[in-house]
């Protein structure tokens, strides 16, 4: 016959204390992770409160932006500049949406820099061997072709002026 292990009261108390300590460590790790993700949750904007310009910075409203675009909403009381909370809420409601446009799949050909060259003009509208068409096709297929020096092959030698 095998002997059964008998747990005493002190063994149970020790096991419960170890479980309690590990739960405390897990809770502290969760709190640290929450602080890393969002250090301090933003408080709500009270519509009846006066907000100084510096107080609006945690909400993403920098002083330069306010004085350039929303100067008409800034009020003065002596030397103190402030905005009402209802004006701040109205700014948030009338802000443009970030994802307003639908994405397109067309490849954009980078604009050529510098002075336009003479070969940039198309000779005929349906010429597929045109340099602009070739450049567009090369950009669509993600190929980059660089020509450092272009020499035309001639059958006769070039004469120098005397």
Domain regions of the chain by residue span: 50-93
Q: Between 159 and 98, where is the model more confident?
A: 98
Please tell me the least confidently modeled range out of 12-16, 72-76, 90-94, 128-132.
128-132
Question: Rounded mean pLDDT of 45-62?
Answer: 90
Question: What is the bridge-based pairing of β-strands 80-84 and 75-77?
Answer: antiparallel
| 60 pLDDT higher than 80 | yes
pLDDT for 121 beyond 70: no
pLDDT at 9 over 70: yes
Rounded distance between C-alpha atoms, residue 144 and residue 142, angstroms = 6
> Is the sign of the CA dihedral 4, 8, 9, 14 positive or negative?
negative
Share of the chain above pLDDT 70, in %: 62
Say how many CA atoms lie within 13 Å of 9 toward its Cβ: 0
Question: Which residue, chain included where needed, has tokens 């109205």?
Answer: 90
Q: What is the pLDDT of residue 58?
A: 85
Q: Which residue has the higher pLDDT, 100 or 117?
A: 117
The mean pLDDT of 7-16, rounded to a whole number, is 88
């Amino acid at each position: 016959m095998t002997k059964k292990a008998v747990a005493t009261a002190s063994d149970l108390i020790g096991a419960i204390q170890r479980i309690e300590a590990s739960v405390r460590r897990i809770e502290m790790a969760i709190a640290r992770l929450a602080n890393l993700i969002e250090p301090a949750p933003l408080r709500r904007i009270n519509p009846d409160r006066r907000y100084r310009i510096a107080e609006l910075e945690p909400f993403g409203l920098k002083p330069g932006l306010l004085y350039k675009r929303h100067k008409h909403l800034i009020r003065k009381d002596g030397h103190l500049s402030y905005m009402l909370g209802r004006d701040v809420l109205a700014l948030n409601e009338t802000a443009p949406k970030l994802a307003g446009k639908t994405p397109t799949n067309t490849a954009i050909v980078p604009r050529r820099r510098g002075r336009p060259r003479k070969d940039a003009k198309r000779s005929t509208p349906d010429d597929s061997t045109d340099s602009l068409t070739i450049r567009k096709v090369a950009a669509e297929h993600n190929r980059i072709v660089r020509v450092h020096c272009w020499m035309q092959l001639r059958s006769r030698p070039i004469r120098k002026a005397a």
